[in-house]
Structure 1
Amino acid sequence: MHYYNDDRFKLILGDCINILNDLEEKSVNMIFADPPYKLSNGGITCKSGKMACVDKGEWDKSSGLYKDHEFNKQWLKKCDRVLNDNGTIWISGTYHIIHSIAFALMEMNYYIINEIIWYKPNAAPNMGCRCFTASHETLIWAKKSKKAKHTFNYNSMKELNGGKQMRSLWEIPTTPAREKTLGSHPTQKPKELLYRCIISCTKEGDIVLDPFCGSGTTGVVAIENGRNFIGIDTEKEYLELTKKRILNIKGDLT
């Protein structure tokens, strides 16, 4: 069901595996997906200098290796239907799920253009002190086939990188407090990360889709930069947050 719809962005409440069936085939230019990492296992982390549980909700709990992989294949196949032939998809994840996603893409005969390492210089410390501190996430950038004519705004990325070719290691701090003034999501991504993804491979007027909308950072960056946006989420509160954030940048929030 539509939660909000105007001339620039559309928000839809529901499971993306079902919702994507209703969208027009090959109608989307770019997809950014930040799927559940399946990390909610009762573990602990450091938040604001204090010990905190990593559990985020039922949606983030693992159903086991094979069921988790099947879930990844399902939503990726639904995304494939709505992505146009020359469009690209970005998927972010930690080692808990990113290898499953890479394998699922290869099963679909997708071509991986790049693997990006998002290094977090201010990542939370390791509380258990039994392994290295997790300080990065992996982003996969892929297209439907090697021959697909994807968009890459090389010069824009070079300019953003001080006149040098942008490399596949991106040093970007975790989401700052100023981006959470209207509310937040436990896996919220920083705008700078989404800016690089969206600006690198889309043009003004293109349609950007996020099947796991969360706090709507994808939509905020898309709208700020002249793109259109479709966001899907199972939680009404996060669609409301996305709506507030986008209307705020448009000057329509009262």
Structure 2
Amino acid sequence: MSLYYTHNNDIKLYKGDCFEILKTVDDESIDLIFSDPPYFLSNNGITCKSGRMESVNKADWDKTVSLDEMHNFNLRWISECKKKLKDNGTIFISGTYHNIYSIGFCLQQLGFKILNDIAWFKVNPPPNLSCRYFTHATETIIWAKKNPKAKHKFNYQAMRNINDPAVNKQMLSLWKITPPKKDEKTHGKHPTQKPIALLNRIVEASTNEGDLVLDPFLGSGTTAVACVNYGRKFIGIETDVNYLEIAKLRINDALNIKQF
């Protein structure tokens, strides 16, 4: 384990295994966790990306495993994360049909209360190559709270305003957000990068200024950038130094923009 990057002790990136680093995080210290864990999809198959046929393989961390192995992995990391959440803390977990049902069951097994299953509509998804089923156009994001009896944070009016202040209606659990734009990949790409608009919404919806956010599978740092945008403290964990470097550069860009 090593501290890779810090800014004013408010933004911290760690290089290492999330299970080892989570042991060093104070119990009941985190207000919000966002996680985009491995989907275990790297099975030597093919997919369509930007009109080209590409391999689905990403890295060793995404290699296909048995259902029991995947479920045990999800139980393990979610259990560790639960210890770190404050009593009124919440967790957002993103996934596809490959892993999201395991994640939902883990949350129920561990005593979380599921608040929403949010459908992120990607607007313009790549076509499926087999032409034998519907094109996958969504990912599911489960939002759950640690203690079913605790009053969790939800900035209701802010979400209502984002939805459409003129219409003044509640925000739905169907979010129409395009995939990451080119300028979000200036410093490099991550195969499962989430758009900043998605994380901005999650952070604004469920935390207040100065709250502490944790991402145990940091990737290229979108959650960290959203925390800079909204004045939240942040802890991120990642094993790959290349993605950590991308995250650091993106954080510095966001900090420079915020100063002006």
* Superposed CA offset, 1:157-180 (max 9, x none): 000000210001111111111111
Any residues of structure 2 matched to 1:196-207 within 5 Å, and which? 196-207=201-212
- CA-based RMSD: 1.0
Any residues of structure 2 matched to 1:14-53 within 5 Å, and which? 14-53=16-55
- For residue 56 of structure 1, what is the aligned residue in structure 2? 58
Amino acid at match of 2:153: T
| 1:232 maps to 2:237 | yes
What is the CA distance between 1:145 and its match in structure 2?
A: 2.3
Any residues of structure 2 matched to 1:1-254 within 5 Å, and which? 1-7=2-8, 8-162=10-164, 163-251=168-256
SS in 2 for 1:251: helix
Residue segments in structure 1 that go unaligned for 5+ positions in a row: none
* Superposed CA offset, 1:188-227 (max 9, x none): 0001111111100100001111000001000001111111
What is the CA distance between 1:18 and its match in structure 2?
A: 1.4
What is the CA distance between 1:6 and its match in structure 2?
A: 2.5
What is the CA distance between 1:126 and its match in structure 2?
A: 0.7
SS in 2 for 1:188: coil
Query: Structure 2 CA distance, aligned partners of 1:161 and 1:250?
Result: 27
Residue segments in structure 2 that go unaligned for 5+ positions in a row: none
SS in 2 for 1:29: strand
Using the size of structure 1 for normalisation, the TM-score is 0.97
Query: Structure 1 CA distance, aligned partners of 2:28 and 2:160?
Result: 30
Using the size of structure 2 for normalisation, the TM-score is 0.95
* Superposed CA offset, 1:64-123 (max 9, x none): 110110000110011011111111000000000000000011110110011100011111
Amino acid at match of 1:37: Y
Amino acid at match of 2:228: I
SS in 2 for 1:159: helix
Identity %: 52
